[in-house]
Structure 1
Amino acid sequence: MFTQDRDALRQTYLTAWRKARAGEPLAPVERLIVEVAERHPEYHALLEQGESALGREWLPEGGESNPFLHMALHIALQEQLSTNQPPGIRRLYQGMIAACLGDAHAAEHRILDCLAEELWKIQRDGREFRPKAYLRCIKRRGSGQRPRA
């Protein structure tokens, strides 16, 4: 699933969705993609478009968010939780669920804001991932504070 080819990555999502709808067996990563997609009914029509969804651009300047990126962030968070990397992410996630009154999906979205911010800074500044900064952001989000720039 890990590739620099945007269309190939998007195709993985489309294939997983098609296979799930057809009742075909899914590889573990495809199951994860489908689980994430199922929690986002607003993306179902896009996933049903098939190949025509590959070349679409979503521009932040226009207030759009990229559904493929959003789902990828959910998957990245699931991977972090499964390995507890960075250390302490599971505990913070559980605390965030409590802060979101038991709504795990809402908790994930709060954490995804921090993950997206950290990834943006990595790209902008050409630096390494900073786990401590990422975890601090999550702690602030869990306490109701806005993340710092």
Structure 2
Amino acid sequence: MFNPSRDQVREFFRNAWRKHVERLPLEPLEAIAADWIAEHPEYHDDLAATVEVDYSIDAGRTNPFLHLSMHLSLAEQVQVDQPRGIKAAVETLARRAGSLHEAHHAAMDCLGEMLWTAQRSSQPPDGEAYVDCVRRKAG
């Protein structure tokens, strides 16, 4: 399993956006990331900054790197339908929400809940519960 450091994640998104802005060739994963970054102009300054910012809950700011990582995770999950059923659930949610972007934001709640539950219980993530959560949001 790929487990990048915080700095590696931030550098990945910064490089993907820089390459996009400079119209340089992008790797497939970078292209997906750049598409999601484009959907979030409120994060562009954060991606251009070289100063490390604390995005803790106490700081009261959304962590753009976490948010974009969740978009990227969802995009990859849908692409390979893993966990099984996530593709159909997100597609249904997108139709009901009116956009893939809004569907992703709703599904992120489910993704975050699944990860939080797994971490708290010291159990593997429950993909079935996750997909069910996304289906409920689409329902």
- TM above 0.5, one fold? yes
| Distance in 1 between residues matched to 2:32 and 2:100, nearest whole Å | 16
Match for residue 140 of structure 1? 136
Q: Tell whether the 8 Å contact from 1:3 to 1:9 is kept in structure 2 after alignment.
A: no
Instruction: Spell out the pairing of 1:63-78 with structure 2 (5 A cutoff).
Output: 63-78=60-75
Q: CA RMSD in A?
A: 1.5
| Distance in 1 between residues matched to 2:113 and 2:64, nearest whole Å | 16
**Structure with more relative contact order (C-alpha pairs < 8 Å, separation 6 or more):** 2
| Distance in 1 between residues matched to 2:8 and 2:76, nearest whole Å | 20
| Distance in 2 between residues matched to 1:40 and 1:84, nearest whole Å | 25
Residue 62 of structure 1: how far off its partner (Å): 4.5
- Determine what percentage of the aligned residue pairs are the same residue: 35
SS at match of 1:87: coil
- String of CA shifts for 1:36-82, please: whole Å, max 9, x gaps: 10011110111111x21xx3221224443211011000110011111
Query: Which ranges of structure 2 fall in alignment gaps of 5 or more residues?
Result: none
| Amino acid aligned to 2:29 | V
Query: Which ranges of structure 1 fall in alignment gaps of 5 or more residues?
Result: 144-149
| Distance in 1 between residues matched to 2:90 and 2:20, nearest whole Å | 28
Q: Tell whether the 8 Å contact from 1:33 to 1:75 is kept in structure 2 after alignment.
A: yes
Residue 26 of structure 1: how far off its partner (Å): 1.0
Task: Give the TM-score normalised by structure 2.
Answer: 0.91
Task: Give the TM-score normalised by structure 1.
Answer: 0.85
Answer yes or no: is 1:30 the counterpart of 2:27: no
| Amino acid aligned to 1:38 | A
